[in-house]
Chains A and B, each alone.
Chain A
Amino acid sequence: MKLQRNGRSKALAIGAMALVSSLSLAACGSDNNNDTKASGGSSGGSSAAAINCGKSGTLLASGSTAQGNAMDVWKTNFGAACSGSTINYGGGGSGTGVQQFNQGKVQFAGSDSALKPAEVEDSKKVCTGGQGIDLPMVGGLISLIYNIEGVDNLVLDGPTAAKIFDSQITKWNDPAIVALNPGAKLPDADIQAFHRSDDSGTTENLTKYFAKTSGGAWSYPAAKAWAGKGGQSAKESAGVSAQVKQVKNSISYAELSYAQTNNLKSAAINTGAAKPIEATAVNAANTFAKAKVAGTGSDLALTLDYATKDEGSYPLVLVTYEIVCDKGNKADTLDTVKAFLTYAASDAGQKAIGDTGYVPLPKELTDKVNAIIPTLA
């Protein structure tokens, strides 16, 4: 038996060793990344002074990946200025965000589409005495990103883009594309169209645009889930961008900031205006300037004109909202939510994301948002 005793104590010793080593590991970790070479808050340094931190706390949020890059910037800057506060943005897609918000798991949600009536009803259970409201925070544009060797200025229009994504047009040298791109060297190659495999607000905005402008070529209802025929799929905006980067003769759709971070080319859109509209922040801002507020009360849901034919107005825009309770937010995090949203809607916050490919919202709109944030309770 002696040997066995010995065995047990050795096993115990190994266990103890593992425990000790993990404990010693626990002592040496750090959240402080500012001294590393990769301090991300370069654009935040200047605006740090403008941030009013409020009560420190940890915020949980999730939702739209279209605003993922914006959140990345904001939470870095906010975290740099307010060392006590942490913003945890889980991504996952607009649907996830709304779901988790209505389950009371997150303090606010990011979404590419405003709450639907049924979702508003659901939100009343979480927001005691109030309901979920949509605050437009991040303006963006969906760029049709493509990767074709030798083609730098692709022009598409609503019907053609819809047909490409629905596999009605399968070759890059299809007459419909050639007609829009006189002089471009379009290859005789199959089109590799990528769409989102997860449910997505970006998909919903794109299909809304198709429904308005494709002249019937897009026969499916606008929805978060992809309905088109054929093509390949990838998860989240980052996934489709990475695929377009890797695969030749490919096309997909993602928020402009993903095109910029991945150095992808974006197609211009022929809306019927004199010149094809380039996918730039300026052109998108022109569209936002004409957006109307459709929400009532504190809700600032916007209606966008996808069929715009105005000069310099890029039609394929999306606005992503932060969804919060107007009343009945959790008491211990309310202050931090307000502080964070105030920063996000501030000029400094909008400018910071403007540098990474988003579209700063027009002043009249952010003024409205800023008027509502202090009333949250």
Chain B
Amino acid sequence: MTSSSPAAPRGRERRKRDSRVGDKIFMNAARGSGILLLVIMAAIAGFLTWRSGIALSKNEGNFLTTFEWTPDAPKPVFGIAVLAFGTIVSALIAMAIAVPVAIGIALFISHYAPRKIAQPFAYLVDLLAAVPSVVYGLWGALFLVPHLDGLTSWLNDYLGWTYIFDQSRAGTTPRNLFTVGILLAIMILPIITAVSREVFRQVPRMHEEAALALGATRWEMIRTAVLPFGRPGIISASMLGLGRALGETIAVAIVLSSNNVLSLHLLDPGGGTFAQNIALKFNEAQPFGRDALMASGLVLFVITLLVNGAARLIVARRKEYSGANA
């Protein structure tokens, strides 16, 4: 501790004055950067709202129910129906696949795997969380899509009666919302796994041992001691994953064959997502078209915000279990 105490003592007064000036400068710098952050955020929110307001006031279609996106036409018409549908459906598919599997892997790492496998595998999962989305997109387009051909036609043949898995044209490449969902699932899997694993690791050893001592099998121990304890953590992990799935841009833009049709046939190419639409359209957009894109960006922003907010609320209630810092 001595090495970091102040330099050789000078006059008492002077030291006090120094410290007061230093304190003031430092505190103001700290507070200033906090305020700067606020300003930036307010600027983003204000700017988006302002431009969206302009866009919405001139929209000749209904922003919520219109399918087309032609803001730069002489009669500007644009709506987010297709985008909202695509964004939510692909994110839900991703969640439906990723959450159970991620919990499985997290349990595998924390409770099932031999230690020798668990540790390196945990590292691997963490590293995969950092793979950039453009690489996932590239892999999705060049590897996943060709390999899902068989699966989609099989789904079409045997589950076509469900309407959802009915392909209106046979032999179409699976550049559809379903594939996007699978790709997003793979992308968010490492994130959900990493966070849930942290939570499962923090289950008090006593609870687990108590359950085992009462004669519970390993599964009963997990069901009664681990899962109830980890539930808030799992939920907030899933929300983090959901947030990323909703905002994913490039991977979706690479894989999806987009159009402005809202269809429940998930295996048909088509649909779109907020982020993908912005990525494809911003270049071509004229000033008004850009405002329209900002309006859609604002909607995405609000949705992500709600999801993140929900996650934070849950985490805040059980703060000690959160492993989420990235």
A residues neighboring B (CB under 8 Å): 1-2, 5, 92-93, 95-96, 99, 170, 189-192, 197-199, 223-226, 231-235, 243, 246-249
Report chain A residues within 8 Å CB of B283: 92-93, 95-96, 99, 198
Number of residue pairs A-B, CB distance < 8 angstroms: 67
Report chain B residues within 8 Å CB of A99: 283-286
Report chain B residues within 8 Å CB of A191: 169
Report chain A residues within 8 Å CB of B247: none
Q: Are the CB atoms of B257 and A192 closer together than 8 Å?
A: no
Q: Identify the interface centre among A189, A190, A223: most chain B CB within 10 Å of its CB.
A: A190
Question: In whole angstroms, how far apart are the Cα atoms of A93 and B280 in the complex?
Answer: 11
Nearest Cβ on chain B to A341's Cβ, whole angstroms: 24
List B residues 232-286 near A (Cβ within 8 Å): 253, 257-259, 269-270, 280-281, 283-286
Nearest Cβ on chain A to B262's Cβ, whole angstroms: 13
Q: Are the CB atoms of A198 and B280 closer together than 8 Å?
A: yes
Q: Are the CB atoms of A233 and B269 closer together than 8 Å?
A: yes
Known interface pairs A198-B280, A224-B284; A232-B1 also in contact (CB < 8 Å):
no
Cβ 8 A contact of A232, one of B70, B269, B281: B269
Q: Give A189's nearest chain B residue, CB to CB.
A: B171
Question: In whole angstroms, how far apart are the Cα atoms of A249 and B2 in the complex?
Answer: 79
Q: Give B145's nearest chain A residue, CB to CB.
A: A246
Q: Are the CB atoms of B284 and A246 closer together than 8 Å?
A: no
Cβ 8 A contact of A235, one of B3, B169, B259, B280: B280
Report chain B residues within 8 Å CB of A96: 283-284
Cβ 8 A contact of A197, one of B1, B169, B258: B258
Cβ 8 A contact of A233, one of B2, B170, B171, B259: B259
Question: In whole angstroms, how far apart are the Cα atoms of A192 and B174 in the complex?
Answer: 12
Known interface pairs A99-B285, A192-B169; A1-B257 also in contact (CB < 8 Å):
no
Q: Give B146's nearest chain A residue, CB to CB.
A: A246
> Could you give 14 example pairs across A and B, Cβ below 8 Å?
A1-B4, A93-B283, A93-B284, A192-B169, A197-B258, A197-B280, A198-B281, A198-B284, A224-B284, A225-B70, A231-B259, A232-B269, A233-B258, A249-B171
Report chain A residues within 8 Å CB of B4: 1
Report chain A residues within 8 Å CB of B257: 197, 232-234
Nearest Cβ on chain A to B224's Cβ, whole angstroms: 42
Q: Identify the interface centre among A5, A95, A232: most chain B CB within 10 Å of its CB.
A: A232
Nearest Cβ on chain A to B124's Cβ, whole angstroms: 23
Cβ 8 A contact of B173, one of A198, A226, A231, A247: A247
Question: In whole angstroms, how far apart are the Cα atoms of A2 and B284 in the complex?
Answer: 58
Question: In whole angstroms, how far apart are the Cα atoms of A104 and B273 in the complex?
Answer: 30
Residue interface mask B1-28, A partner, CB < 8 A = 1: 1111000000000000000000000000
Cβ 8 A contact of B172, one of A198, A224, A232: A232
B175 sits at the interface (CB 8 A): yes
Nearest Cβ on chain A to B251's Cβ, whole angstroms: 14
